[in-house]
Structure 1
Amino acid sequence: MGFNIIRQDLRSKAGDFGVCQNPNRVKVINKLIENPPKNVNVAKKVFEYLNTQQKGFIDSDWKMLKDLEFIPIQQHKFIPIQQYKLIKPRDCFLKLKEESLNSFFTCVDFGIKANEFLAKCGVREPSSYDFDKISVGPTHKLWNLYVEKYPIILEKINPNLEKILNLASPPTNSKFRVTAIKYFIDNFDKKYAKVYKPEQINIAFIPCSNFDACTKPSDC
């Protein structure tokens, strides 16, 4: 992190000289503020070290770190000269095991120990709410991937009855309506049977023979 370190051959005398084994939390945090890591390799080492020091941090430190831009992410993956920008912990997520889903989020992975520190700072895996907020249109470069992964995304969203019926009805894109109605049918007994009251449903989600049209249970 840029701290002065006592010479190797004098380390056995560090205590005699009054040299601390580690800087205190204030110095560590100030150094992170003044000189945040500029690339992924440096960041991994810094975050791993900070993970060993986190017991000394107090609540106000963690709150401050959540809004501090100190996590480097690569801006352009396919440019030979790597360019990084710094982001806040609350503006990124820990990578998911389903690698392709990471394309829909700003994800980071600095290794187990470094990620433990980042998790304390507020970096987390995407929640059902985050998956629900994914917005990808037909002209977006991720459109085909979104269509392909939509069944998995639905599982992540874990929609309640109203949500799944709305997803299965217009104006939802027909590609997703098919997936949504299948999800509703496949999960009906487990998730929806107890709360589904046909006479109370005012959402036109049931596909008619002309699939472009949908109707309410009471009108079918």
Structure 2
Amino acid sequence: MSNTLLLIEDDIQIVEMVQNYLLKEGYTIVTALDGLDGINQFQRQQFDVVVVDVMMPKLDGIEVIKRIRETSSVPIIIMSAKDSDMDKVTGLGFGADDYIVKPFSLIEISARIKAAIRRATTYSSDSTSIASDGLSTSGSLLKFDRLSIDLTNFTAWKDGADLKLTAKEFEILRLFAEHPNRVFTKAQLYGLVWKEDYYNDENVINVHIRRLREKIEDQPSTPRYIKTLWGIGYRWEG
């Protein structure tokens, strides 16, 4: 069964180029030429991954991401000509999982899409391990006062309300919650969650920690659960 991808992009040449390439890779592709149509398409069926431009008519990519994140944790990849660190942090901050800068190679975007789908699929099919260094899950329910984490069904809620975490946010939460009081450096977090080498890209980690805190903490600026150890990393205090 092929993976279904929603491509939201107003440049028809890019749409045709990416669509033709990914069709050969075995994907089912649905396209939208503006943000509003992209949201309409997203509401009609289920997708395995969404690829979205930032600068678009009717509804920009950031607003599209915000609306999708209200109801779904589907992997979202931004592809944009805007390549500043602030642009990337903004996109990731509103819930995107990855950011690819135009112009890009078709091989690169294909690899990013495959990686996003693979990470998301891992959460729904593998409840036995999070990394190859011996960190493992118990397939159970963890409770921390008003916060509950279901490791088997990959869900979390606070005061009975679903937290609507993205795949990476849940993996970070699971890693912390299963290993309370253990200190994780940023390099360790990146290696365990992104499963890639860490090149001191603190922005990516900082944005995801901030978004996770905003969802689980009563006061994100003075967190109860995810503590910062300045110059070292982070630690979970249940």
Larger radius of gyration: 1
Higher helix share: 1
TM-score normalised by length of structure 2: 0.27
